[in-house]
Amino acid sequence: MPTRRGFLAGLAAATAFPAPTWADAGGPSYLTAARGPDGADRLVGLDGFGAVVFEIPLPARGHAAAAHPARPEAVAFARRPGTYAVVLDCRDGSVLRTLTAPANRHFYGHGAFSTDGALMFTTENDLDTMTGRIGVWETGQYTRVGDFASGGIGPHDVKHLPGTGTLAVANGGLMTHPDSGRAILNLPTMAPNLAFLALDGTPIETHDLPAEWRMNSLRHLDLRDDGLLAAALQWQGDAATAPPLLALGRLGEGLRFPDPSDLFRRMQGYAGSVAFSGDGARVGITSPRGGQLAVFDAGTLELVDEIPASDVCGLCGDGGDGFAWTTGLGVFSGDATPGRRGDLAFDNHLIPVGRGGAGPG
């Protein structure tokens, strides 16, 4: 039987070595996938001014990453239709686990942690049924513990609503198969939606797009602390049509859109990322094809700013009340940060670290 002295000694030892935090990884403010001048893919940690804190090699092109809400760990996901996800210790760059999508599945490049960090959810395609699935992983050893239907086809992004047992899933509606590359196989019937699911997969509610915009694929999500979701859309229809590329939604409410505008035609029907500003008062979408960042009032959805930026895509709220963004040309910039250019080609997304549900999840 353990003695009281032994118990106290063990307790003292445990408290002498507190659990590692993101500060032990050099205090990065952001994570992003990137490609170096040598052509190698990597996950990069950036400080608040865009300086590189760490670089960790990836086995192939990455898309997005999910940062654990407490531990200095990140999961980097392969670009669709990739099958790898790498769990990285961001203190030293070591690979803790390499995850592989189950047989006849592929990842969509995104995942989300539960608020407490105990579970991770991944968006996946079931190639046998061509339907969307959400994989469930416990994060002690990153063991897969289950999966369930995403509520649609082509689930791209997923968020865990803070303080709830609810997931929000952006079902893009696009049916694809690796044998056909990234070609869309169901344009005549595609039907994107925003689905809300319980953590066991039980459907809660689904928000469909208006019929005339059913070819407007819901792709990426950002989440405000109060549960308001912003979605970036990518139009698959006639280029002469300019439906909105931004939607706001909330559990228990329908989707809201800004008015159709020539802005969305100038963005060439493509919004690459979406984010709320640091204070949540504004919401932005980027268009690498159109070379601009468009900023809207998060309450009225009125356009308040257009910022030209070649090949801009990565976007998130900064540590203050504004935005930070990255480009495929190696530029990091923001409302409070002068443009900084390096030799990394930043990929699609910029992920804030250590800011609760609106960041890592």
List the domain boundaries for the chain.
20-358
- pLDDT confidence band for 4 (50 / 70 / 90): low
Ramachandran sector of residue 73 (left: φ over 0; alpha: ψ -120 to 50; beta: rest):
beta
- pLDDT confidence band for 12 (50 / 70 / 90): very low
**Structural fold of domain 20-358:** Methylamine Dehydrogenase; Chain H (2.130.10)
pLDDT of residue 361: 35
Provide the 8-state DSSP code for 179.
G
pTM for the complete prediction? 0.91
Which residues in 336-361 are b (16+ Cβ under 10 Å) and which e? ebeeeebebbbbbbbbbbbbebbbbb
Cα–Cα distance between 121 and 8 in angstroms, integer? 38
How confident is the model over 121-135, as pLDDT tens digits?
Answer: 999 999 999 999 999
Q: Are residues 313 and 288 in contact, defined by beta-carbon separation less than 8 angstroms?
A: yes
pLDDT of residue 6: 52
Cα–Cα distance between 44 and 126 in angstroms, integer? 30
Question: Within a 13 Å sphere around the CA of 57, how many CA atoms are in the beta-carbon half?
Answer: 5
How confident is the model over 307-357, as pLDDT tens digits?
Answer: 999 999 999 999 889 999 999 999 999 987 777 888 999 999 999 986 543
